[in-house]
Structure 1
Amino acid sequence: MMLYVIVPWCALFTFTQQATSAEKCVCELTNSEEAFPHDTLSTMEDNASKCNSEITSQKTLELESLLLGLERRLPQLQDDVSVLEKEDDGGLYGVLSLQVIENEIMDIKQLIDKLNSTTLGHQLLTIETTKQLENLKAEMQELEKYDTMQVVKRQQANQRLKRELNQCRNGLHSTIQPTQPQHGNCPHGQFLNITGPRVYTAGEYPGSYKYGAWGRDPKPEAGKESWYWLVMMTSSNRYSHYVRLYSSLSSLIVGVSIPGNVLIHSSNPTTNTIQGPNVVMYGEALYYNCYNQDAVCRFNLSTKTVTTLQLPKGTRFNSKGNFCHLDECYPYTDLDLATDESGVWVIYTTSQDFGNLVLSKVEEGEQLMLGQTWHTSVYKLGVTNTFIACGVLYVTRFVNKDVEEIFYSFDTVTGEEKFNIGVFISKMAPNIYALNYSPVDQMLHAYCDSYMVSYKVLFG
């Protein structure tokens, strides 16, 4: 009787009863179904994981960045050629203009070559991935025959019902979707990439001053929209007491400073002169770390007056909280000043924050004031530089002597931190001692071992 109870529940199996003795009964169990191919399923999982690792959003972003870079380079080249055709300077800057145009053409050629190789690589990857997906689909359909309880079919039916239910709900509460994605408060769009370098020059003091900074004033006086500024650490690679001005990029490249030096003080260093290379200019005023103080100085170029802003107690200064990488720390880089579309910022670290980066807004006015402050979770001694674009702090680290990586960002609007930015900067010298973003033309100005280099920031 026991045998007749078991058989209906085990219809997939065949039982054979053998009587070996009066006391013992032995049953042989024979599986009438094929064994499930676990090895095949494991191989399919490995192939699917490989596809996921090869097809990433970063590859699409790389192609989009190259196209965007080419789209912006061509009009710039056309404008420069038009200027060259019209200008009549007696041959003074003609050779220089031709050299700039030649460099731009070489840059565009390299961009096109990279675009062609990237497109070809994507086409080959698409063909290979299509084949793999077709094979995976066929193998999955083959495995479905082992689903004798029709679990997969029921799951698919449930998913289909859920989709139809969601469509029904959305139809009752439909809203008009925006035609363009939102990009927060940035007028240029979302930060995509860094391309370049666009400018690479030793200026008028080739190899003389290892540390320094340069850039443009985002809020210049009328008539000075095309001016550039330069600050070099002229004493012990740590201190300076003047800012040098140039009326154009060509003037800076050939080393012709008609305005000359604007002195903060005749001595160097002394009270309220410049300490460290991380300086910026905004609204005809130079912002920098005051000599021997945990404070920000603002030097007004018109009135030749200095205003100071005391930073919070515990702020590290005098080379106690520098930018560093494994092989080197950059002396007296405790305070980093930055500009973006909204004004001036100061990036520093404090004992209370255990060496993590702190970001504060510098409020303009007759008296300097410290505005809103944000605390990050990135350790300053592990990074090499920072800059700010559209209220977002970007942090770089040293990869090798040829590459710097933008690896971290902090959004002051949302408070969101990202440690996986993964944008790489091609360096012309091993160390970037100062990095300034210019909202005037969306350029990134780097001072690298006495060389001035600029990169284009791509938004989209």
Structure 2
Amino acid sequence: MKLYVIVPLCALFTLTQQAPSPDKCVCELTNSEKAFPHDKLSTVENDASKCNSNITPQKTLELESLLLGLERRLPQLQEDVSMLEREDDGQLYGVLSLYVVENELVEIKQLLDRLNGTTLGHQHVTADTIKQLKDLKEEMQQLETYDTLQVVKRQQDNSRLKRDLDQCKNGHHPTTQPTQPPHGNCPHGEFLNITGPRVYTQGEYPGSYKYGAWGRDPKPEAGKENWYWLVMLTSSNRYANYVRRYSSLSSLIVGVSTPGNVQIHSSNPTTNTVQGPNVVLYGEALYYNCYNQDSVCRFNLTTKAVTTLQLPKDTRYNSKGNFCHLDECYPYTDLDLATDESGVWVIYTSKQDFGNLVLSKVEEGEPLTLGQTWRTSVYKQGVTNTFMACGVLYATRYVNKEVEEIFYSFDTTTGVERFDIGVFINKMSPNIYFLNYSPVDQMLHAYCDSYMVSYEVLFSEMDNADNIFHQSLY
């Protein structure tokens, strides 16, 4: 009985709610304007963002660097061919020149291949970008028809007016635009890019020693200005007990060692022998990580004396603070020795720095001492290698088997850190175990899976052509 009472009451309530009230006025609003296409605007914004990402200053700089490298290699090839023509091919000296010419031709071919590939890629990018810009212009013109209040037009007029006022103001009071301060005290200008490789050789022992180091002495003795040195880790890919000397780049390439080895110790490994690949030669002395110590050793190649420099407490060594990438770490790379225009540096890490890179200046003299120290915010095991140039620390990271990136810098003059360097190194082998800058010729020397490779460092300003490795190879 109660059920029949409830149902009519509910129906009555519903009908009452739906009935229009005589006290309310309902107006119908009709919008004559078209609905704004927000989805189309979003598409235009995405297309503009993709267009910006396709055209970057790095791509232009890469092409300019390749052209510059080719421009400077062709005269060198002509000079080497002329020297070969003047020599007697029946003698060893003529054979060496022939090897040099052959190496030059290989490098020029590699450079031309890269240049052709880069140019073709830029042509495709240019064609695509022109089409995208044309489409974007048409779509923006269509979107502007929705601006009935002419807000966009007023903004454009204001921008033009502001630009004209700025030009007028600058015309009466010319000011010099601020520029980025140069890194360190560098006579060559600001670091820009890496080109090459300039040298690519396995030298005297093809494929025999995976880890090692090589280069030139930035402070050579008289008569040894064109000499090269090589240290190969001959024991367990970890240790070495001698330095091999070459009187020229040609002799290094073809494997004719003169004067030969300078021995640190007859045993390997033992006290004061080399541990790890990150060694440098400076002032006729080899600087390296002492065997089984958190110390820097300096071996004088003339007197055969070894001087030891103890690093700060809790410095990581014995493969506990290596350079790494996602797939692997490079063993016994705890200490990285580096050279630049000012001398020798050591890059390491410690427990108190939570694994971040620490940079210290190694002061010459007796006894060997540690100079000023700088602490960075970049994690050492996220880095594959470091080098110094003009007082600036640069760090690299692994991109893939073909490319390494110089991504970080720390300026010891200003204390400024940057994580956006974005300079890429085209590798000839997947891993770079040793990397060091030579201030003698502004070259970057790398040791990669038994290959010796060098790259040219490009700076923003060059005093003259003498700064571009146009010295004689002999």
Q: TM-score, normalized by length of structure 2? A: 0.85
CA contact (8 A) 1:246 1:259 kept: yes
Moved more, 193-202 or 69-78: 193-202
Indicate whether 1:202 and 2:202 are aligned.
yes
Runs of 5+ consecutive residues of structure 1 not aligned to the other structure: 1-19
Distance 1:49 1:116 in 2: 27
Give how far 1:432 is off: 2.2
Classify 1:369/1:137 alpha carbon distance in 2 versus 1 (closer, same or farther; 3 Å).
same
User: Which residue does the alignment assign to 1:235?
Assistant: 235
Letter in 2 for 1:45: E
Q: Deviations over 1:28-79 (max 9, x none)?
A: 2111222223233222222212211211222212211111211221122122
Classify 1:130/1:208 alpha carbon distance in 2 versus 1 (closer, same or farther; 3 Å).
closer
User: Which residue does the alignment assign to 1:310?
Assistant: 310
User: Which residue does the alignment assign to 2:15?
Assistant: none
CA contact (8 A) 1:322 1:380 kept: yes
User: Which residue does the alignment assign to 2:71?
Assistant: 71
Distance 2:282 2:409 in 1: 23
Q: Deviations over 1:91-141 (max 9, x none)?
A: 213234223323322322332343234334323433432333233334323
Indicate whether 1:393 and 2:377 are aligned.
no
User: Which residue does the alignment assign to 1:192?
Assistant: 192
Give how far 1:445 is off: 1.8
Equivalent residue of 1:26, what SS? coil
Q: Deviations over 1:188-234 (max 9, x none)?
A: 33333333333233332333333221111011011111101111222
User: Which residue does the alignment assign to 1:100?
Assistant: 100
Q: TM-score, normalized by length of structure 1? A: 0.87
After TM superposition, the structure 1 = structure 2 runs for residues 7-406 of structure 1, keeping only pairs within 5 Å, are: 22-88=22-88, 90-175=90-175, 183-184=182-183, 185-406=185-406
Distance 1:167 1:136 in 2: 29
CA contact (8 A) 1:68 1:458 kept: no
Classify 1:43/1:86 alpha carbon distance in 2 versus 1 (closer, same or farther; 3 Å).
same
Equivalent pairs: percent with the same residue? 82
Give how far 1:177 is off: 6.3
CA contact (8 A) 2:100 2:250 kept: no
Give how far 1:333 is off: 1.4
CA contact (8 A) 1:69 1:458 kept: no
Give how far 1:182 is off: 6.5
Classify 1:167/1:202 alpha carbon distance in 2 versus 1 (closer, same or farther; 3 Å).
closer
Equivalent residue of 2:148, what SS? coil
Letter in 1 for 2:187: P
Pairwise CA RMSD of aligned residues? 2.5
User: Which residue does the alignment assign to 1:451?
Assistant: 451
CA contact (8 A) 1:356 1:378 kept: yes
CA contact (8 A) 1:203 1:452 kept: yes
Distance 1:137 1:211 in 2: 56
User: Which residue does the alignment assign to 2:12?
Assistant: none
CA contact (8 A) 2:96 2:251 kept: no
